[in-house]
């Protein structure tokens, strides 16, 4: 008598990250065919906090889905969305914007309004929402290592430099450097997820409206109209 196939457990943040991260290659801009379409809907159906959903979309090389989410998290206290925005632009090859977003994250984590460092400080309540409870380091120190708050900018420099050097290379030349940078990118994404999981949890956020930093009527309307996965309307 043949044994019946065992049902697969439902996907989780951990299972998707374990599946995706070892194969994540964001050193080069992904082609439109790179994302796994069925994983896009699976990721959305989990209804995670938008930063975690965006990180999984990036791991799946699905830049449009990630961009939809991060473009609504563009100011304090949403430093996680701002950092993911920098990572996304670096992957696209828009290095100037990647550096600009990293600069904004650095300003906010240091207690300043983005682009107003030395001029306008954030209030204590806002800074409380920027930090991860129980963690002395800010987001950049957590992701790139204590004393390495400029690690994100160095990674942008290294990705940009590698792409420039690749233009004249043939075959397997530069493979060791490529593997090293890819490893750093995976580690970066892994640490962003770890921070976001600690701050927001890995449960459902059916009402994710509190995650948005709203800039105007257009952003509010898009958020209200968004349909996520196959679970019906999700409130943003």
Q: Report the alpha-carbon distance of residue 80 to residue 140 in Å, rounded.
A: 10
The arithmetic mean of pLDDT across residues 133-149, rounded, is: 90
The arithmetic mean of pLDDT across residues 187-205, rounded, is: 97
The arithmetic mean of pLDDT across residues 122-133, rounded, is: 96
pLDDT for the residue 146: 77
pLDDT band at 209 (very low <50, low <70, confident <90, very high): confident
Higher pLDDT, 215 or 182: 182
Q: Report the alpha-carbon distance of residue 216 to residue 43 in Å, rounded.
A: 27
pLDDT for the residue 36: 84
Q: Report the alpha-carbon distance of residue 87 to residue 92 in Å, rounded.
A: 9
Q: Say if residue 139's pLDDT is above 80.
A: yes
pLDDT for the residue 56: 98
pLDDT band at 217 (very low <50, low <70, confident <90, very high): very low
Domain residues of the chain, as ranges? Answer: 45-202
The arithmetic mean of pLDDT across residues 99-127, rounded, is: 96
pLDDT for the residue 212: 86
Q: Residue 55 CB: number of other CB atoms within 10 A?
A: 32
3-state secondary structure of 227: strand
Q: Say if residue 218's pLDDT is above 50.
A: no
pLDDT tens-digit readout, 40-53: 999 999 999 999 99
Between 116-130, 158-172, 213-227, the lowest mean confidence (pLDDT) is in 213-227
pLDDT band at 210 (very low <50, low <70, confident <90, very high): confident
The arithmetic mean of pLDDT across residues 162-182, rounded, is: 83
pLDDT for the residue 219: 36
| 98, 90 Cβ separation under 8 angstroms | yes
Q: Which residue, chain included where needed, has tokens 């995706």?
A: 20
93-125: buried (b, 16+ CB within 10 Å) or exposed (e) per residue?
eeeeebbebbbbbbbbbbbbbbeebeeeebeee
Between 77-86, 96-105, 145-154, the lowest mean confidence (pLDDT) is in 145-154
| 58, 91 Cβ separation under 8 angstroms | yes
């Amino acid at each position: 008598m043949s044994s019946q196939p065992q049902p697969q457990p439902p996907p989780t943040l951990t299972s998707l990250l374990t599946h995706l991260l070892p194969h994540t290659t964001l050193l080069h801009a992904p082609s439109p065919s790179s994302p796994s379409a069925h994983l896009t809907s699976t990721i959305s159906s989990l209804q995670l906090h938008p930063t975690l959903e965006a990180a999984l979309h990036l791991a799946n090389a699905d830049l449009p889905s990630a961009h939809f989410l991060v473009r609504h998290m563009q100011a304090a206290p949403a430093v996680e969305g701002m950092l993911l925005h920098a990572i996304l632009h670096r992957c696209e090859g828009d290095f100037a914007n990647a550096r600009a977003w990293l600069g904004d994250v650095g300003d906010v984590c240091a207690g300043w309004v983005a682009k107003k460092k030395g001029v306008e400080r954030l209030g204590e309540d806002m800074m409380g929402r920027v930090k991860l409870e129980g963690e002395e380091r800010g987001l950049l120190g957590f992701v790139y290592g204590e004393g390495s708050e400029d690690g994100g900018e160095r990674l942008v420099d290294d990705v940009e430099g590698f792409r420039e050097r690749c233009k004249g290379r043939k075959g397997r030349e530069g493979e060791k450097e490529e593997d090293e940078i890819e490893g750093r990118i995976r580690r970066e994404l892994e640490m962003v997820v770890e921070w976001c999981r600690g701050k927001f949890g890995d449960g459902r956020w059916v009402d994710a409206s509190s995650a948005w930093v709203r800039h105007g009527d257009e952003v509010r309307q898009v958020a209200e109209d968004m349909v996520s996965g196959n679970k019906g309307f999700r409130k943003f």
